[in-house]
Chains A and B, each alone.
Chain A
Amino acid sequence: MKYITEYRNKNLSKKIADKTNDYLKDYKGKISLMEVCGTHTHSIFHSGIMSLLSDKIEHLSGPGCPVCVTPNEYIDTAIAYSRLPEVIITTFGDMIKVPGSSSSLEKEKANGAKVKIVYSPLESLEIARKNPGKKVVFLGVGFETTAPLVASTILRANEEKLKNFFVLSGHKLIPPAMQSLLESGEIKIDGFICPGHVSAIIGETPYQPIVDKYGIPSVIIGFEPIDLLEGIEMLVRQIVEKDKSKVENQYKRVVRREGNKKALSLMNKVFDIKDSPWRGLGLLPKSGLYIKKAYSEFDAEKKINVKVEKTKTHPQCICGQVLCGTKKPFECTLFSKICTPESPIGPCMVSSEGTCAAYYKFKKQ
């Protein structure tokens, strides 16, 4: 496997880290880099590259964990669906443990609800075909990376004229969230580690307006240790040299400037872009994907009526602030005491991409 030797080379890692640290030798103060994507947070901890880099570099975790930014209302709706005897819920594994207002899908499953973990939304179609008397509801949670796949699943269901497959769409778009963080002005961000997978779909251009407006250096980075170190080096160089900020692409072997046109057209065919609620960030304009009218027969919200309980969140949970980078997990009074991956209070402790889970797993103090 080339990526193991090429992108995980110890000597090369040290060389790049030293170069980055050199840039910062005479730099006064600290620089904050925000990794927008949860997989980056996980990779940074997992590879331990922080210990190679100057302590002048601070990492902020951003809103790029799909499970984490999904608001309680969505989870409660999914739980309400799971309680309907005619419904089979299909979902990616992370969603099972996320606590809603009073329950979780894991608990509902133990109570007899039919909740199935799938690795691809397409598996839901197979489940729907095999259970014609049931309604299969797929929990469509994720960013631009997942949405095209869900779109193509809906198109497939449409071709097959499946009558018992539905999607509860909670898909969200990354660039509006980045914009909202900067607009709030609550945190100091010196550079963005832009998400590699999302960028593979949307390309480089959607970041340009953000860079133009706020002047924050942004680099699209891959997920291997060498990718991260090289990308951080590119960011630090932009910050230290104080040139005009720009969008750079470290992950050229995967991300094309124009993105993946086919995936984008699938997305546009099935989804409308509308305002959407985010945990922690509130209602963000033009940040969510909703199923178009033409495909509304697959829209769970339109086709399956359900009564959803009144949403409540734990008063001490600060997931919202953690997602915006304004607070670190350690600053939460629940962190690692009451809220653990085993019995999570907030979603950031559930997903492997969640900031609290990453801090708990790799950095427990």
Chain B
Amino acid sequence: MKKTEIKNRKILLSHGSGGIAMSSLIKELMLDKFDNPILRLLTDSAVLKSTGEKNLCFTTDSYVVNPLFFPGGDIGTLAVNGTVNDLSVMGAKPLYISCSFILEEGLDWEILDKITTSMAKAARSARVQIVTGDTKVVEKGSADKAFINTSGVGILQKGLTLSKKKIKPGDKIIINGEIGSHGLAVMSKRENFKTNIKSDCAPLWELIESMLIVGGIKFMRDPTRGGVATVLCEIAEISGFGIKIDERKLPIHENVYSFSEILGLDPLYVANEGKVIAVTNKDKAAFILSKMKKHALGKEASIIGEITKENKGKVVLETIVGGERIVDRLVGDQLPRIC
């Protein structure tokens, strides 16, 4: 990129939203400079070839959620589960994570104590160990209370390769449960709305492991920032096929549905923190679904659609009333700082 195109440009909030603005920022300022074969794949976690039988997966994520505590979780649970899930959707068993804090001068010890306590609890329940870390403190006003970065390492299951190249027309698309609750839980806490919506923040490895045992899983993603719609658009783009989704099959709880209607948000674009979208072999879909339903995090699992030959690169949604519309990528952010 030429220097003149960079001059006078500023980082806007939308550059961190997980949508088109962020992709172009990464493309223009990072990818070329950092270029290597592992990065080029742009997967949730990097797959590192090892000399042994199993490959390693490596990932990193920063957490800046505001407020720090919200119904169903806090920045600590988010920082552990988010990184654990980025490894899990690659088919890697999460083992170790790191933890870096950037803290604002003046933060109460009590608050940090609550955060580290819930990180410890989340790590225990996700069966990972927090093995290294770092702490920095910045002047008051230079950060907002607490930011956390976690990186994670996991072991890729032997013989398992999940790849966009395996996706074919007829494959089914499955999600493990209701959508939209995380983003709305954070939002309602932040804006003081009274709702009973709780974040779905949870570690996914146990559920995913039970799915992988069945076989037939071709690709997985966790629909966090940008929500289910963004992941579906990505799958349509990278596979080169179309996707047809049935709106009636999308699990959305009534409280999420009505709250998003009131605020003019679309639950399809709202972040989740305990959800996985899997593309599976047509013949194995029903079996995988039945396995998922046996797990606490998969009780509301649903086959929401399929890969199609038609509408290449696009996601088409059959609406509740039987009409059709295209589901496009999110532009800018519906809700900033939700993870």
CB distance from B25 to the nearest CB of A (A): 11
Question: In the complex, which of the residues B10, B12, B21, B325 contacts A48, with contact meaning CB atoms closer than 8 Å?
Answer: B325
**B38 at interface by CB-CB < 8 Å:** no
Contact, CB under 8 Å: B323 / A364: no
Q: Which residues of chain A come closer than 8 Å to B41, judged between CB atoms?
A: none
Beta-carbon contact of A341 and B325 below 8 Å: no
User: What chain A residues lie within 8 Å of B28 (beta carbons)?
Assistant: none
- B residues 1-19 near A (Cβ < 8 Å) are 10-14, 19
* B120 to A: closest C-beta gap in Å: 36
B257 and A9 contacting across the interface, CB-CB below 8 Å: no
Known contacts A49-B321, A52-B322, A364-B326; A4/B257 CB under 8 A: yes
Q: How far is the CA of A27 from the CA of B256 in the complex (A)?
A: 43
Task: Please tell me if B254 contacts chain A, counting CB pairs below 8 Å.
Answer: yes
CB proximity to B under 8 Å, residues A85-133 = 97, 106-107, 109-111, 119
Does residue A46 face the partner (Cβ distance < 8 Å to B)? Answer: yes
Q: A340-B331, A342-B20 are in contact. Are A225 and B12 (CB under 8 A)?
A: no
A interface majority secondary structure: helix
B106 to chain A, nearest CB (A): 19
Q: Is A256 an interface residue (CB 8 A)?
A: no
Specify which chain A residues have a CB less than 8 angstroms from the CB of B13 in the assembled complex: 106, 109
Within A1-43, the residues touching B (CB, 8 Å) are 1, 4, 8-10, 13-14
Complex-state Cα separation, A13 to B321, whole angstroms: 6
**CB atoms of A8 and B14 under 8 A apart:** no
Stretch from A55-63, A261-269, A294-302, A355-363 contacting the other chain: A355-363
Contact (Cβ within 8 A) B328 A48? no
Please determine whether B321 and A225 come into contact, CB atoms closer than 8 angstroms: yes
Contact of A10 among B191, B263, B322 (CB under 8 A): B322
Give the complex CA separation of A362 and B321 in angstroms. 16
Cβ–Cβ contact A49 & B320, under 8 A: no
Decide yes or no whether A51 CB sits under 8 A from chain B: yes
| B323 proximity list for chain A (CB < 8 A) | 13, 47-52, 225
Contact B10 A107 (CB under 8 A): yes
| B324, CB-defined interface residue at 8 Å | yes
* B21 & A342 in contact (Cβ 8 Å cutoff): yes
**Is A326 interfacial (CB-CB < 8 Å)?**
no
Contacts of B12 in A (CB 8 A): 106-107, 109-110
CB of B319 closer than 8 Å to a CB of A? yes
User: Quick check: is B258 within 8 A (CB to CB) of the other chain?
Assistant: yes
A45 touches B322 (CB 8 A): no
Given A1-B258, A47-B319, A97-B332; A111-B325 close (CB under 8 Å): no
Chain B residues, CB < 8 A from A341: 331-332
- Minimum CB–CB distance from B244 to chain A (whole Å) comes to 13
- B10: chain A residues within 8 A (beta carbon): 107, 110-111
Size of A's binding interface in residues, CB under 8 A: 34
A229 to B319, CA, bound (A): 14
Q: Is the CB of A1 within 8 A of B254?
A: yes
User: Which of A1, A46, A342 has the most chain B CB within a 10 Å cutoff?
Assistant: A342
At the interface, yes or no: B52 with Cβ under 8 Å from chain A? no
Complex partner residue of B320 from A47, A360, A361, CB under 8 angstroms: A47
A342-B331 in contact (CB<8A): yes
Residues from chain B with a CB closer than 8 A to the CB of A10 are: 248, 320-322
A222-B24 Cα distance, complex, nearest whole Å: 39
Complex-state Cα separation, A109 to B336, whole angstroms: 14
Q: A352 on the interface (CB 8 Å rule)? A: yes
Contact with A along B223-267 (1 / 0, CB 8 A): 000000000000000000000000010000010011000011000
A362→B326 contact, CB < 8 A = yes
In the bound assembly, the distance between CA atoms of A349 and B295 in angstroms comes to 44
Asked whether A364 lies within 8 Å of B328 as measured between CB atoms, the reply is yes
In angstroms, Cα B12 to Cα A49, docked, is: 36
Give bound CA distance, A290 to B48, whole Å.
64
- Chain A residue contacts of B321, Cβ below 8 A: 8-10, 13, 47-49, 52, 225-226, 229
Query: In the assembled complex, how far is the CB of residue B226 from the closest CB belonging to chain A, in whole angstroms?
Result: 13
CB under 8 Å from chain A, chain B span 310-339: 317-326, 328, 331-332
Give the chain A neighbours of B320 by CB distance below 8 A: 4, 8, 10, 47, 225
- Assembled-state Cα–Cα distance A342/B331 (Å): 6
Question: Which residues in B have their C-beta under 8 angstroms from that of A47?
Answer: 319-321, 323, 325
Interface string of A201-225 (1 = CB under 8 A from B): 0000000000000000000000001
> Is there an interface contact between A48 and B324, defined as CB atoms closer than 8 Å?
yes
CA distance A48 to B191 in the complex (A): 32
Contact with A110, one of B11, B258, B324, B332 (Cβ below 8 angstroms): B11
> Contacts A110-B10, A342-B20, A342-B331: A13 and B322 contacting too (C-beta < 8 A)?
yes
Q: Among residues 220 to 272 in chain A, which have CB atoms less than 8 Å away from a CB atom of chain B?
A: 225-226, 229
Cβ distance A64 to chain B, nearest Cβ, rounded Å = 15
Q: Which residues of A contact B11 (CB under 8 A)?
A: 110
Q: Report the Cα distance A306→B5, complex, angstroms.
A: 31
Give the CA-CA distance A46 to B266 in the complex, in Å. 10
Residues of chain A touching chain B, judged by Cβ–Cβ distance below 8 Å, are 1, 4, 8-10, 13-14, 45-52, 97, 106-107, 109-111, 119, 225-226, 229, 340-342, 352, 360-364
| A-B pairs with beta carbons under 8 Å apart, 29 shown | A1-B257, A4-B254, A4-B320, A10-B322, A14-B322, A45-B325, A46-B319, A47-B320, A47-B321, A48-B321, A48-B324, A51-B324, A52-B322, A52-B323, A107-B12, A110-B10, A110-B12, A111-B10, A225-B319, A225-B320, A225-B323, A226-B321, A341-B331, A342-B14, A342-B24, A360-B328, A362-B326, A364-B326, A364-B328
Question: Which 3 A-B pairs have CB atoms at the shortest separation, nearest pair first?
Answer: A48-B323, A341-B331, A13-B321
B residues neighboring A (CB under 8 Å): 10-14, 19-21, 24, 191, 248, 254, 257-258, 263-264, 317-326, 328, 331-332
Apart from A4-B254, A13-B322, A225-B320, 9 more pairs, CB < 8 Å: A45-B325, A47-B325, A51-B323, A107-B10, A110-B10, A119-B191, A340-B331, A342-B331, A360-B328
